[in-house]
Structure 1
Amino acid sequence: MRAIILAAGLGLRLQQPAGEQFPKCLLQFEGVTLLERHLQMLESAGVTEVVLALGFQPELVEAELRRIGWPHEVEVVLNPRFDLGSVLTVHRTAQALTRGGDVLLMDADVLYDERVFAPLVAGEAPANRLLIDRDFEAGDEPVKLCLRDGVPVELRKQLAVGLKYDTIGESVGFFRLNETTARRFAQIVEGYVDTGRANMPHEEALRDLLLERGNEFETADVTGAPWIEIDFPNDVKRAGEEVLPQLAPVLSRMKQAAI
């Protein structure tokens, strides 16, 4: 199993001062960056093959990788057109998507607890799995995941009028794809790029995948487990004040060895 972490974006909605912008995966909570938290969570689950998709200020992220001193090689893939949609970033990871085995596709801008991550990696491979949190704030920002009889029928911020579903929640932004599904996803993403839709969010391509193969996916309910996607300044505040106190402490192996 390998993890593909999407960390190419500008993070403009954080409203960082001009000249002081940096990738969101470098946001720190209790002195630990989101990137380091991702890596330690993956290592605790036995996932040591990691592909990091970068775009904006990749040198800062690569410097953080060196500082962390994670004991496994991280493959870095660059998207020089990070100003376009995240579909193009995923397209840059096509080789990692299609080289075989289960794939974890993960947004980098999420602070989360192991209770969120554990259901994603549980069980034997191969597996297709996604996460739903039924306790979410209504509005235009959350990416809604809708199920009917346990099968995904929608993955979008805006729901179509008349859509029929029996369960709705927010998508955490993490997906597990088996080898066959990952290859199909790469084909869908390539279709977006080839037809001039590289400026789209990758969730649109994931939506197409779910509508095509939804009955092949398991959905893990992580309602009640602490997590937050960080897009706006208030999200940073909530992450530090509300989510962080509920998380298990993160202490890297490198730091443990130094104690």
Structure 2
Amino acid sequence: MRAVILAAGQGLRLQQPKQEQIPKCLLQFDGKTLLERHLILLKSVGVYDVTLALGFRHELIEAEIKRLNWQPSPETFVNSSFDLGSVLTVHTVTDAVTRGGDVLLMDADVLCDIDILSALVANNQSINRLLIDYNFEEGEEPVKLCIRDGIPVELRKKLSVDLKYDTVGESVGFFRFDESAAQRFATIVREYIDSNRAHMPHEEAVRDLLQEYNHIFEVRDITGAPWMEIDFPKDIIRAKNEILPQLKPLLGVV
């Protein structure tokens, strides 16, 4: 199993002063960047093969990797057109997505507990898996995951009024694909690029994969486990004050 971490975005909604702008994965919480936390958590759950999709100020992330002297060193790819959209960023790392075996596709801007990663990687058999949090704030920002008869039927921020579902929660920005689903996902992403939809968020391609219903997806409930996506200045404050104190210590990994 390997992880592909998407860390190309500029994070404009954080409203950082232009001269101080850094990639969101370099935000620090209790002395560790989000990137370092991801690497520690992944190694803690047995995932050592990591690929980073970089873009905005990629040299800062590369410097952080060098500072950490992380082993094995993550493989890096750079999307020079990072401002176009995350579909293009995923396409940049197609080789890592389609290399074989299960792959984890992860957003880099999430502060989370090890229980989140444990839920994602649990089970040695190949599997497709989504994570859902039923305790979420309604609104336009959360990516909503809708379930009907145990099957995921929608993955979007804005839901159709005609959509029928049994339950709805917020999708954590982490996905697990088996080899077959990863190959198909990469093909869908390529189709987005070829049809001038490179500006779209990669969740749209995941949604298309789900709605083909050719691959069975398990949905794991992580409600109650602390996590937060960092998008706005207020998110940094809440992450430090509310989420960070709930996280289990980062132990046993060097």
Q: Give the TM bin, normalised by the shorter chain.
A: over 0.9
Give the structure 2 partner of residue 213 of structure 1.
213
CA distance in 2, matches of 1:101, 1:37: 24
8 Å CA contact retained: 1:153, 1:214 = no
Letter in 1 for 2:109: D
Matched, 1:230 2:199: no
Superposition map of 1:35-74 within 5 A: 35-74=35-74
Q: State the 4+ residue runs in structure 1 displaced beyond 2 angstroms.
A: 250-254
**How far apart in 1 are the matches of 2:162 and 2:253?**
51
CA apart distance, 1:125: 2.6
How far does residue 214 in structure 1 lie from its aligned partner after superposition? Answer: 6.9
Q: Secondary structure at the match of 1:220?
A: strand
Task: Tell me the distance in 1 between the aligned counterparts of 2:177 and 2:145.
Answer: 17
Q: d(CA) in 1 for partners of 2:213 and 2:44?
A: 30
The equivalent of 1:90 in structure 2 is 90
Q: Which runs of 5+ in 2 are unaligned?
A: none
User: Given that residues 151 and 214 in structure 1 are in contact (C-alpha distance below 8 angstroms), is that contact kept between their aligned partners in structure 2?
Assistant: no
The 3 A distance-change label for structure 1 pair 81 and 252 is: farther
CA distance in structure 1 between the partners assigned to 2:188 and 2:125 by the alignment: 23
Which amino acid counterpart does residue 151 of structure 1 have in structure 2? I
Q: Secondary structure at the match of 1:208?
A: helix
The secondary structure found in structure 1 opposite 2:198 is: coil
> What is the one-letter code of the residue matched to 1:49?
D
| 2:63 partner SS | helix
* Shift in CA distance, 115/251, structure 1 to aligned 2, threshold 3 Å: closer
Q: Which amino acid letter does the alignment assign opposite residue 239 of structure 1?
A: A
The aligned amino acid for 1:75 is E
Question: Is 2:199 aligned against 1:199?
Answer: yes
What amino acid maps onto 1:86 in structure 2? S
Sequence identity of aligned pairs in percent?
Answer: 65
* Displacement after TM superposition at 1:213 (Å): 2.8
Q: Distance in 2 between matches of 1:229 and 1:177?
A: 21
Q: Is the 8 A contact 2:112 2:228 kept in 1?
A: yes
For structure 1, the residue ranges without an aligned partner over 5 or more in a row are 255-259
- CA shift for structure 1 position 157: 0.4
The TM-score, its normalising length taken from structure 2, stands at 0.98
Tell me the CA shift for residue 37 of structure 1. 0.4
Tell me which residue corresponds to 2:151. 151
2:185–2:206 CA contact under 8 A, matched in 1 = yes
Q: What is the total number of aligned residue pairs between the two structures?
A: 254
Deviates more, 1:206-215 or 1:117-126: 206-215
Contact 2:129 2:220 in 1 (8 A): yes
1:250 Cα offset (Å)? 2.2
User: 8 Å contact 2:130–2:220 — kept in the other structure?
Assistant: yes
Contact 1:40 1:252 in 2 (8 A): no
SS in 2 for 1:249: coil
Give the conservation status (yes or no) of the 8 Å contact 2:181–2:215.
no
Coordinate RMSD, CA, aligned:
1.0
Q: Which moved more, 1:186-195 or 1:113-122?
A: 113-122
Q: What CA deviation, in whole Å up to 9, does each residue of 1:206-231 have, x standing for no partner?
A: 10011113760000000011000000
CA contact (8 A) 1:125 1:178 kept: no
CA distance in 2, matches of 1:252, 1:143: 33
Separation of aligned partners in 1, 2:73 and 2:180: 25
**Letter of the aligned partner of 1:240 in structure 2?**
K
In 1, the alpha carbon distance for the partners of 2:252 and 2:32 equals: 9
